[in-house]
Structure 1
Amino acid sequence: MADTPISSVSLSLTHVVYNPSSPLSVISAYLALLPQALLIIYTTLLYATREIEIGLMLAGQLACEALNYILKRTLKGDRPRLDLGKGYGMPSSHAQFMAYWAVYLGLWVVVRHRPALEKRREGGYVGIAVWQRGVLGLAAFVLSAAVGASRVELNYHYPHQVYVGFALGTACALAWFVVTAGARYYGLLDWLLELPPMQWLRMRDLLIDEDLVHAGWERYDSRRRKLRAVKDR
């Protein structure tokens, strides 16, 4: 009795079909992998810094993805080419993902990242410069738009599916930003950080007041100066 052949399938999470003869199509294929890359960045930053703000942003991102999963199976919108992509096309999950990321990041940089007044008076970290905030926000939105356009270029989505994805991602970012602001204002975030699991994970809340790179450099520079002073004695 011959062995029954085992059928193989593609891992659609990272599988992108594109036209190798078109430079725009090649660029679009790489742009399509950006949401997965951002999830890796989320996870790496959260593990390395243990910052609650990064965890909150990631939680909202995953909730936004869950909403997209539900809507796709409710609306059941077809893709331009049925042989491309797994599942339904309405709304575009790539567009929704990137819109949430760009809007929430922009709001965080402009509204929430405010170094404490006493640190400014002491000549410490004064926050991200206005022009840097503008450049960062603009870059995030341009990148978000490029990913959305890539989905149309690759024939994975109709334009209106991308537009709806952008609208939903923006709405999710705005709503979650308000929720997290309320949690901080009413002390829920402080309560959360006092829970044993959070203490065990060493979760902290420093990112709105300081740049972790700058703070790390200050500690290193202070230690370096002390060691140099000892050697010069």
Structure 2
Amino acid sequence: METTPLASLSLTHVHYNPADPLSYLCAWLALVPQALCVIYVTLIWSTREIEILLMFTGQLGCEALNFLLKRLIKEERPKQMYGKGYGMPSSHAQFLAYFATSLSLFLLLLHHPPAQHYRSERPYSHKPLNLPQKISLSLLTFFLAAAVAASRVYLNYHTPTQVLVGCIAGGVSGLSWFVFTECLRRMGWLEWGLETWLGRMGRWRDLVVEEDLAEAGWRVWEERRDKRRRVDGVGGKKRR
């Protein structure tokens, strides 16, 4: 009885040496871009923050640039590698370099929460990130990007030059997109977009530049809890 041969979905299909623990770790590092895409989509859907949407849009543009560069340069991967397609530049290295650059620029230049919440006299429930913490987080993100880039060489999916070019392309893409979106913000185009019917229908907002992602939800919960306590106090009820 004839059967149709099965195919392998190569999206997360990574070859590694099972006898080498470092190779096994590199195989997991190869899945970081997919994990970041899940994080992007989750944050966009749950927060409706326009800054996260813009960053993800730039990330997709960076991937499109990588697709174009590979087909223009047409440089083969290392002979001992097991994957398919062209290797110059490394898409993994470019993806993480863009992410690390964009996140660091956002934290260091754009994210400045005030000392207290603008809607309340009470201070924040926790202190916003200070400059050393922002620098540490940025360095940690770049370390992750470097680890993913190195893993592509270790697994023989790319040459060091292909990874280096990918890092440069990703870093330049992240910087260019940040400058472009910041120009849109300062010229008022971002605010105009939020006021359109599409922006209102999607409930997009631009708060993450001035407050923590979790702070707004926590503030609503605290105010609602205080209101319940005041009502219980007036009614003489005790909540178990």
Normalising by structure 2, report the TM-score. 0.90
Quote the offset at 1:96 in angstroms: 0.1
Q: What secondary structure does 2:12 align onto?
A: coil
Aligned match of 1:181:
182
Aligned match of 1:132:
133
Aligned match of 2:237:
none
- Tell me the number of residue pairs that the alignment of Structure 1 and Structure 2 aligns: 231
> What does residue range 53-202 of structure 1 map to in structure 2 within 5 Å?
53-81=51-79, 84-116=82-114, 119=117, 122=121, 124-125=123-124, 127-202=128-203
| C-alpha distance in 1 between matches for 2:80 and 2:67 | 18
Aligned match of 1:44:
42
Q: Residue 115 of structure 1 contacts residue 208 of structure 1 at CA under 8 Å; is this kept in 2?
A: yes
Residue type of the partner of 1:26?
Y
Q: Residue 115 of structure 2 contacts residue 123 of structure 2 at CA under 8 Å; is this kept in 1?
A: no
Q: What secondary structure does 2:11 align onto?
A: coil
Aligned match of 2:29:
31
| C-alpha distance in 2 between matches for 1:154 and 1:227 | 58
Residue type of the partner of 1:230?
V
| C-alpha distance in 2 between matches for 1:13 and 1:68 | 16
List alignment gaps of at least 5 residues for structure 2. 235-240
Aligned with 2:17 (options 19, 22, 26) = 19
Deviations, residues 40-60 of structure 1 (Å, cap 9, x unaligned): 100010000110000000000
Deviations, residues 90-144 of structure 1 (Å, cap 9, x unaligned): 0000000000000100000010012257748955346322232122111100100
Q: Residue 81 of structure 2 contacts residue 155 of structure 2 at CA under 8 Å; is this kept in 1?
A: no
Residue type of the partner of 2:214?
V
Distance verdict in 2 for CA 1:227–1:123, change over 3 Å: closer
Q: What secondary structure does 1:156 align onto?
A: coil
Residue type of the partner of 2:39?
I
> What does residue range 184-223 of structure 1 map to in structure 2 within 5 Å?
184-223=185-224
Deviations, residues 197-228 of structure 1 (Å, cap 9, x unaligned): 22111111111011121221122112212212
Deviations, residues 128-172 of structure 1 (Å, cap 9, x unaligned): 222321221111001000000000010000011000000000000
List alignment gaps of at least 5 residues for structure 1. none
Q: State the identity %.
A: 51
| C-alpha distance in 1 between matches for 2:56 and 2:221 | 30
Q: Which runs of 4+ in 1 moved over 4 A?
A: 116-123
